[in-house]
Homo-oligomer: A and B are copies of this chain.
């Protein structure tokens, strides 16, 4: 796990130095630029994880720089450092495309919170963006969306149907222990919950009829299997 690289564009030399020192101290790798033009040059040379920039800067303002950067690398998160007395319409304009903003004067702690929040979010979305999908036969179970996409159209599933089918699909062609599934979904293996599960199995089987290759078979006294035969 290497340090996150931050592009810091700030023309106030005091604040710039403070930012750089502070962010370094907190385990980041900041590159400080004094104006928008320098920021643009650094951006072209290297790859960054996050960009912090002032709005009002000589040579090239933050708004312009942000737009240019977004054109090249749309997913680079940008955190604007804005002055409090900035006109509303400017703020309005720069909202588009900014991932966040913080108004001066701000505390270092506030800034750090923002930076970590953005990085956490973007890093997460790089990993977990993939919504879970299970495929079996002509079906696709979109678990996160609670949708079963089959050969005869999409079926909206209820939460319980969704959970149950996911367990079966995850163990495709393998036995799913009855009691195990019950504990997973209902928390405990009781008579009524078991009957409930049977009701849902029945509903799911109805949908699965859309593809004759797919069926749920019962292993008496043991559990169930989602089996996928050949064409």
Cβ-defined partner of A145 (8 Å) among B85, B107, B132, B217: B217
By a beta-carbon cutoff of 8 Å, the part of chain A in contact with chain B is: 13-14, 17-18, 21-22, 25, 85, 87, 90-91, 94-96, 98-102, 105, 107-110, 113-114, 116-118, 121, 128-133, 135, 140, 142, 144-146, 149, 158-160, 173, 215, 217-222, 225, 227, 229-230
Q: Given A100-B108, A110-B117, A173-B144, A131–B227 Cβ distance below 8 Å?
A: yes
Q: Given A25-B94, A100-B133, A128-B173, A87–B144 Cβ distance below 8 Å?
A: no
Q: Given A131-B114, A131-B118, A219-B159, A140–B21 Cβ distance below 8 Å?
A: no
Q: Closest chain B residue to A115 by CB distance? A: B129
Measured in the bound complex, the distance between the Cα atoms of B21 and A203 in whole Å is 46
Q: Closest chain B residue to A121 by CB distance? A: B109
Check B17 against A95 for contact (C-beta < 8 Å).
Answer: no
Measured in the bound complex, the distance between the Cα atoms of B25 and A108 in whole Å is 26
16 example contacts (A-B, Cβ-Cβ < 8 A) are as follows: A17-B91, A21-B95, A22-B94, A94-B108, A96-B149, A99-B109, A100-B107, A100-B131, A109-B118, A117-B131, A118-B131, A131-B173, A131-B229, A131-B230, A144-B173, A145-B229
Check B87 against A133 for contact (C-beta < 8 Å).
Answer: no
Measured in the bound complex, the distance between the Cα atoms of B91 and A13 in whole Å is 13
Measured in the bound complex, the distance between the Cα atoms of B82 and A14 in whole Å is 13
* B residues near A160, Cβ cutoff 8 Å: 220
Measured CB to CB, the closest approach of chain B to A3, in angstroms, equals 18
Check A117 against B121 for contact (C-beta < 8 Å).
Answer: no
Measured in the bound complex, the distance between the Cα atoms of B93 and A149 in whole Å is 12
Q: Given A159-B219, A227-B144, A227-B145, A94–B131 Cβ distance below 8 Å?
A: no
Check A95 against B14 for contact (C-beta < 8 Å).
Answer: no
Measured CB to CB, the closest approach of chain B to A176, in angstroms, equals 13
Measured CB to CB, the closest approach of chain B to A137, in angstroms, equals 12
